[in-house]
């Protein structure tokens, strides 16, 4: 397979396993490029990309911008907070105005699930979903799987537990799709109130005992408690959540084996993981961030090659 089966990256749900392998092989090449002394290639000299962010971001926004610049694309950035969205302009009007400045690709983060899918039907540009509400965060899942592949050699056959707020997490859903597509075994672990009822229909097992989940897994992906999406109380107190579902050094050291710790960021230190776990040699959190640039270069490069 030499090109993606899709013209947009809207979610992992729309990808085939071969798409993921193509993205990883392309990312391998770009990872080598960004570790050279000259980190830039001229691949996308004629492409203009708009990063359109309606929600806060540190890692995703900077990582996309760096990926685009490393590929020599022209880049414009848009943050809703400082824009005419505040004056009532619609999403489609906003993006069509950006596109009339001859933009080829839009990378968008939006609080509404499906915002990227909606946009792809109404504007003429390649759309990359950089996170849409509690729906999907495809490039996060790709960089997560890529980091597992880098650390453990393969994703197929590995046991991965995703811990925390599964209900509100786009990272969880995209990771489940990506891991299952590659043949990993997946469990979710968290308070029952934060595990959606449909989750087992995705081929995922539920484990509410964190110690059992950790003793089973090769990799634990620790999710952030998303206070901004918790409209009601899903657990009694943050302290109780941490006691039941937080990972600390003592717990890690009491396990039967050494496991890999991941976190998409931003971390609530002392809530889902303690600092001594986040900063330990078992943690690959900063490798995930590094790999994010290579993965996003690969996604942008492959989608740009499909623009007619």
The Cα 176–Cα 174 span in angstroms is: 5
CB of 277 to ligand CP, least distance (A): 18
User: Residues 5, 18, 21, 58: which binds ligand CP (CB under 6 A)?
Assistant: 58
Q: Can residue 265 be called a binding residue for ligand CP (CB under 6 A)?
A: yes
The Cα 298–Cα 90 span in angstroms is: 31
**9 DSSP assignment:** B
Number of residues that bind ligand CP (CB under 6 A): 10
Instruction: List strand residue ranges (DSSP E) for the chain, in order.
Output: 48-53, 74-79, 105-110, 126-132, 159-163, 185-189, 205-206, 219-222, 260-262
CB of 169 to ligand CP, least distance (A): 11
Residue nearest to ligand CP (CB): 60
x/- letters, 110..139, toward ligand CP (CB under 6 A) = ---------------------x-----x--
Choose among 137, 129, 132: nearest CA to 162. 137
Which residue lies nearer to ligand CP by CB, 57 or 72?
A: 57
The Cα 57–Cα 97 span in angstroms is: 23
User: Residues 26, 60, 120, 242: which binds ligand CP (CB under 6 A)?
Assistant: 60
CB of 129 to ligand CP, least distance (A): 11
Which residue lies nearer to ligand CP by CB, 57 or 282?
A: 57
User: Residues 254, 266, 279, 306: which binds ligand CP (CB under 6 A)?
Assistant: 266
The residue range among 58-66, 94-102, 195-203, 295-303 that interacts with ligand CP, by the rule CB under 6 A, is: 58-66
Name the burial class of residue 101, with classes exposed (0-12), middle (13-18) and buried (19+) by CB atoms within 10 angstroms of its CB.
exposed
CB of 224 to ligand CP, least distance (A): 9
Contacts (CB under 6 A) with ligand CP, residues 269-308: none
Q: Can residue 226 be called a binding residue for ligand CP (CB under 6 A)?
A: no
Are the C-beta atoms of residues 40 and 70 closer than 8 Å to each other? yes
Choose among 221, 214, 218: nearest CA to 255. 214
Contact residues for 18 (Cβ-Cβ < 8 A; gap 6+): 1, 5
User: Residues 48, 120, 140, 274: which binds ligand CP (CB under 6 A)?
Assistant: 140
Choose among 132, 122, 169, 121: nearest CA to 55. 132
**Main-chain dihedrals φ then ψ at residue 294, nearest 5 degrees:** -65, -40
Which residue lies nearer to ligand CP by CB, 31 or 137?
A: 137
CB of 264 to ligand CP, least distance (A): 4
Q: Can residue 174 be called a binding residue for ligand CP (CB under 6 A)?
A: no
Are the C-beta atoms of residues 137 and 170 closer than 8 Å to each other? yes
Distance of CA 251 to the CA centre of its chain: 27
Q: Can residue 57 be called a binding residue for ligand CP (CB under 6 A)?
A: yes
Q: Can residue 264 be called a binding residue for ligand CP (CB under 6 A)?
A: yes
User: Residues 6, 13, 59, 74: which binds ligand CP (CB under 6 A)?
Assistant: 59
Which tokens belong to 13? Answer: 């749900």
What does the binding site for ligand CP look like in residue numbers (CB under 6 A)?
57-60, 131, 137, 140, 264-266
């Amino acid at each position: 397979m030499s090109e993606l089966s899709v013209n947009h990256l809207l979610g992992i749900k729309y990808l085939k396993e071969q798409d993921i392998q193509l993205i990883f092989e392309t990312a391998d090449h770009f990872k080598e490029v960004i570790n050279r002394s000259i980190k830039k290639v001229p691949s996308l000299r004629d492409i203009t990309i708009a990063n359109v962010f309606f929600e806060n971001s540190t890692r995703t926004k900077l990582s996309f911008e760096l990926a685009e610049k490393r590929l020599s694309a022209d880049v414009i950035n848009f943050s809703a907070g400082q824009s005419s969205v505040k004056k009532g302009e619609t999403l489609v009007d906003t993006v069509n105005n950006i596109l009339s400045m001859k933009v080829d690709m839009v990378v968008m983060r939006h609080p509404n699930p499906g915002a990227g899918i909606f946009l792809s039907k109404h504007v003429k540009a390649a759309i990359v979903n950089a996170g849409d509400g509690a729906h999907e965060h495809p490039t996060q899942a790709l960089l997560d799987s890529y980091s597992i592949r880098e650390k453990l050699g393969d994703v197929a056959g590995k046991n991965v537990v995703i811990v925390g707020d599964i209900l509100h997490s786009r990272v969880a859903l995209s990771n489940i799709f990506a891991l299952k597509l590659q043949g990993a075994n997946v469990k979710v672990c968290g308070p029952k109130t934060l595990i959606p009822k449909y989750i087992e229909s995705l081929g995922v097992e539920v484990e509410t005992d964190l110690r059992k989940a950790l003793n089973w897994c090769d990799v634990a992906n620790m999710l952030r408690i998303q206070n901004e999406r918790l409209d009601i109380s899903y657990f009694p107190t943050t302290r109780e959540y941490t006691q039941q579902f937080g990972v600390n050094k003592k717990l890690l050291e009491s396990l039967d084996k050494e496991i890999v710790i991941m976190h998409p960021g931003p971390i609530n230190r002392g809530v889902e993981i303690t600092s001594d776990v986040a900063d330990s040699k078992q943690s690959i959190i900063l490798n995930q961030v590094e790999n994010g640039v290579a993965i996003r270069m690969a996604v942008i490069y492959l989608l740009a090659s499909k623009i007619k």
